[in-house]
Amino acid sequence: MLMNIQAMLLPHKHVRFCKSLIAIAGYIRLLIDGPVSIEELWVKIEKNNKSTIIAPSFTQFMLAVDILFFIKQITLDNENRIMPIYFNDDKQKNKES
């Protein structure tokens, strides 16, 4: 079981970077710009599936969202919508843009 999770998580000679959960999690994090439900986020992913190299299955999507929660990149608001977590450096960069 551990080997299967590790094989999915990180890219290696049998898993391309675009199919790894780390890449999918990074891609999902870029799409979260404010409060969004899991359904709304999945619709965004499905819309972009044809125009991007990263096209996750729903299972990969859910595992990648779990990774983002685990590494504290996203959280839930009072309405159980996914919110990005910004750190001080991120806020300063957004203000400068």
| Domain residue limits at 37 | 2-96
Helix (H, G, I), strand (E, B) or coil at 2: helix
Q: What is the pLDDT of residue 6?
A: 52
| Chain segment 68-86, per-residue pLDDT in tens | 999 999 999 999 999 999 8
User: Tell me, what's the pLDDT at 18?
Assistant: 77
- Tally the domains of the chain: 1
Q: What is the pTM of this model?
A: 0.75
Residue 28: per-residue pLDDT? 94
As beta bridge partners, residue 84 has 74
Tens digit of each residue's pLDDT (9 = 90 or more) over 9-50: 555 666 777 788 889 999 999 999 999 999 999 999 988 877
CB 87 within 8 A of CB 46: no
- In sequence order, the 6+-apart residues with CB closer than 8 A to the CB of 42 are 58, 61
* 64/71 Cα distance (integer angstroms): 11
CATH number at residue 11: 1.10.10
Rounded Cα gap, residues 25 and 67, in angstroms: 7
